[in-house]
Copies of this chain bind each other. A is one copy, B any other.
Amino acid sequence: MTAWARLGERTRRDVLRARAYLSVVAEPPAPALAHLVAERGPVQAVEAILRDKAPPEVRTEVESRLEGACGEAAMRAADAAGARLVIPEQPEWPAEAFADLAGARSVELPGLAEPLALWVRGAADLGSAAEPAVSVVGTRAASGYGEHLAAEFGHGLAAAGFTVVSGAAYGVDGAGHRGALAAGGRTVAFLACGVDRDYPAGHSRLLQAIAAQGAVVSEYPPGTEPRKHRFLVRNRLIAAMGQATVVVEAGARSGAANTANTADALGRPVLAVPGAVTAQNSVGCHTMIRSGQAVLVTRTEEILEELNPLGVQPAEGIVGRARPTDRLPADAQRLHDSLSGLNGASDAELAADCGLPLGRVRALLPELEMGGFAERGEAGWSVIR
C-alpha cells in the first residue's frame, strides 16, 4: 500500500483540491510558492494564502488571481475534458524525472521550479512513461529532412522501449510523436495551454492519438490559453522528462535551443542532428555541437548509445565497402599497387617500383598468387582484378 493510499479518501481529496487550487492561482513557474508547498504541504500552503499569511514573495505570485480562483471548478473542467489531476503525492508522479526541477527550485534557477500539479489526458501512467523517456524537439518550420528524421528517431526510440516526449507543435514535435505512435510505442506531449484545448488546432487528431497511446500533459489548468512565455516555461518539463533531449532541427533563434539549454542546466545530455551548413534550420544544431553543448548524432543507434553508454554496444561505425586487398599486410598491398600499375613485370622491376627489397618481393609474389591477386604469365607478373 503506497503512502498515498494510506492517506484515506478524505485527505486525498483535500490534497488534490489544494493542488488544483495552487495550479489555478499561480502562473508557473512559481518558485516561492513551490518552496512554501515543499515546506508546509499543499493544504497548509493554501490556508496560508487564503488567510493572507503567506510570505510576500508568494503573495506576489498569487495575488492577481486570488479572486475567483477555484480548484474544484478546475477539477470539474478537467473531468469534463476526460483529464485528471496528477500530483507529487501520488505514486504516478514522475518523481525521479522531476527531482532536478525540485532541486533547482530554491537555488539559482527559480525559472526551473517544479510544477505544482499536472493535468493529464490519456491512458499512460506518467511515472512509468518517464522511465525511460527521450525528448525529441525542434523547429515548427521543419524541412522535409527534419520531419523525416524526427519521425525516424521517434519510431526507433519507441521501438527500443523509450517514451518519446515532445511538445505537439507542428514540424519536428509532431513528426516525433507520429513516429512513436507508428511504432506502437508510448509518447507524451506537454502543452503550453490547458489539456482541454487542442493546440495547435491542426493537431487535434494527433493529440487524440497521443492521449490514446500515451498522455497529453500540462501544468496549466483547463481553460488556459497558450501564451508565448508559456511555451518557454513548458519547455522545462520536456527537458526534465527526457533522459536526454534530441534536437532535430533548430534555427538560430528557436524554442528548441531553449529546451536544450534547460536540459543542459538539468545535467541531461543534449544530442543534436547536423544538416547542410546552408540550411537555416540547422544553424541552432551546429551552434550547440560546435560549442560542445550537444553531441552530434545521425542515427537512432547513436542516440541509444548516448542514452546508455554502458549497457549498449557502441553504434557500429558506418564503414565503406571493404576491398579484397584490405586483409593483405601493408607491404603486400604496396606490391599489389605496383602490380596494378605495371602490366607484366619482372620481380626486379616490381621491387624497384614499389621500393621493397627484392627478397621480400619474391616472397610476397607467390602469396599474392595463391590469394588470387596475381598471376605469372609469359611477360612476367600481372594483377588479377
Contacts and interface: CB of A to CB of B under 8 A. Distances in A.
Interface of A: 26-27, 59-61, 63-65, 67-68, 145, 149, 225, 227-230, 251-254, 273-278, 282-283, 286-287, 289-290, 295-299, 302, 317-321, 330, 333-334, 337-338, 340-341, 348, 351-358, 360-361
A334 B351 CA distance: 79
7 contacts: A64-B354, A65-B352, A225-B353, A251-B320, A274-B275, A283-B298, A286-B298
Contact of A297 (B290, B351, B361): B290
Given A149-B277, A252-B318, 15 more contacts: A27-B334, A27-B354, A64-B351, A64-B355, A225-B353, A227-B337, A227-B341, A229-B330, A229-B337, A253-B319, A253-B320, A274-B276, A274-B296, A276-B276, A286-B298
B298 A337 contact: no
Given A64-B356, A253-B320, A275-B276, A228 B333 contact: yes
Contact of A296 (B225, B276, B296, B298): B296
Contacts of A276: 145, 274-276
A102 to B, nearest CB: 21
Contacts of A274: 274-277, 282, 286, 289, 296
Nearest to A354: B27
B252 A320 contact: yes
B319 A299 contact: no
Copies of this protein chain in the complex: 2
A317 B290 CA distance: 11
Contacts of A333: 228-229
- 3 cross-chain pairs, A with B, having the tightest CB-CB distances, nearest first: A27-B355, A253-B320, A274-B274
Given A27-B355, A276-B276, A296 B302 contact: no
- The residue in A61, A63, A296 that gathers the most chain B C-beta atoms within 10 A of its C-beta is A296
Contacts of A299: 277
A253 B321 contact: yes
A320 to B, nearest CB: 3
Contacts of A282: 274
A65 B352 CA distance: 5
